[in-house]
Amino acid sequence: MLADTLARLQSTDRDIAGRVADHLDRLTKPPGSLGRLESLAITLATITGEELPRITPPGVLVFAADHGVAAEGVSAFPQAVTAQMVGNFVAGGAAINVFARQIGARLEVIDVGVASELSRDSAARGGESGLVHDKVRRGTANFAEQDAMQRAEAVQAIEVGIRAAERAVAAGCRCLIVGEMGIANTTASSAMLAVLTGEPVADLTGQGTGIPESRLAHKQAVIERAIEARAPDPQDPLDILSKLGGLEIAAMAGAYLGGASRRVPLLVDGFIATVAALLACRIDSKVRDYLIFGHRSREPGHVHALTALGGDPLLELGLRLGEGTGAALAFPLLEAATRMLADMATFASAGVAGSEGA
Ligand SMILES: O=C(O)c1ccc[n+]([C@@H]2O[C@H](COP(=O)([O-])O)[C@@H](O)[C@H]2O)c1
Ligand SMILES: Cc1cc2nc[nH]c2cc1C
């Protein structure tokens, strides 16, 4: 299944960019005056292959999983919060539920590796978002002591993400917002990012859910010791993922690969989401052209992950929540870009005099 997805993945349609740029210059505004919205419109056209790209409705995929490394005291919250927040997603009360409703998104929550068994009838009891049970295993192992998971499990988790992207596209979603929930997943993300970029762990490690600054040195030391003990091959993204990663991070990488293979714009959220996107790009560099970065997270490693991808986020709101919230908040800008292309009058149609030149 991963092989089929990779076989289908194509480069974006660069030819369309010139035609859309010409159309943008015919619209009733000084050329270039809608700034970033204009380049966004061109990007959406090259991704979808449509001169008038359609990106609604969006689909939000929230992947949830637990992390054995939580046992090292690297998060401000107990591991049980992962499962409890899944209950909150299903009931419709989390921040991502609110923002998904605001943008008319289809929301799906996927258990790819929560440590406890989640109730199978919670959605049937009046919950608003579908909970999909696609658990690969009950959380990763503690990578301070052993590999987080087997390579085959990492591939299975990537395929969970591909399937979720396929379901969203089959349901009519035209833009994907990929989010996550997993206590201790900033530790896994910082560890993977350090190996992927070769940058010092100290520059890539932050307070996550809000550990006190006094515990940052401990979190860094856990990561540094684990990288040394697990010794992943920096050239092998699946080796890094299976030794230091997380099941939801693997599934997010899979969702990016799956969405890109269906030519759907991928709106990237915060730190964990960007590390997963970097991983997907190391699996196949063609994914990069499908990524649009929603926001810059407060987590200090995020800017390094963005730099590794050459990403320039749309928003900077001081968020550090995850769940896909920052990407969902950026979605209306994408919608504005497509409406500008489709609905604005041209100089000719409105009878407005064009530029007289220099
Ligand atoms: O998206 C971000 O940039 C982000 C930054 C910090 C924390 N988070 C969220 O907080 C959790 C991970 O934090 P921690 O401290 O448990 O590693 C996980 O559920 C993420 O969704 C998310
Ligand atoms: C309450 C809570 C909500 C979250 N959403 C994403 N990560 C989270 C972490 C916590 C602790």
Domain-wise residue ranges, the chain: 1-52+342-350, 58-333
pLDDT interval class at 119 (50, 70, 90): confident
The answer to whether the CB of 301 falls within 8 A of the CB of 206 is yes
Average pLDDT score, the chain: 96
pLDDT at 121: 61
Quick one: CATH architecture of 1-52+342-350?
Answer: Orthogonal Bundle (1.10)
Q: Alpha-carbon distance 10 to 14, whole Å?
A: 12
pLDDT tops 80 at residue 263: yes
Q: Is the pLDDT of residue 357 over 80?
A: no
The yes-or-no answer to whether 1-52+342-350 and 58-333 have a common fold is no
Cβ(81) – ligand 2 distance below 6 Å: yes
> Could you give the C-alpha distances from 65 to 55, 93, 249, in angstroms and in order?
28, 19, 9
ipTM over 0.90: yes
Quick one: pLDDT at residue 128? 59
Query: Is 3.40.50.10210 the CATH classification of the domain at 58-333?
Result: yes
The dihedral formed by the CA atoms of 298, 301, 306 and 309, expressed in degrees to the nearest 10: -160
For residue 125, pLDDT beyond 50: no
Mean of the pLDDT values across residues 224-247?
98
Q: Which two tokens stand for residue 202?
A: 């100290």
In tens, the pLDDT along 267-300 reads: 999 999 999 999 999 999 999 999 999 999 999 9
The answer to whether the Cα torsion of 155, 158, 162, 167 is positive or negative is positive
Q: For residue 103, what is the DSSP state?
A: T
Closest by CA to 190, choosing from 212, 205, 210, 211, is 205
Q: Which of 321, 323, 325 gets mutated to test ligand 2 (max ligand atoms within 8 A of its CB)?
A: 321
Report the alpha-carbon angle 176-179-182, nearest 5: 160
The candidate with the shortest Cα–Cα distance to 343, out of 52, 30, 58, is: 52
C-beta 188 within 6 A of ligand 2: no
**Top mutation candidate among 60, 63, 66, 85 for ligand 2, by most atoms within 8 Å of CB:** 85
Is residue 323 annotated as part of the catalytic site, yes or no? yes
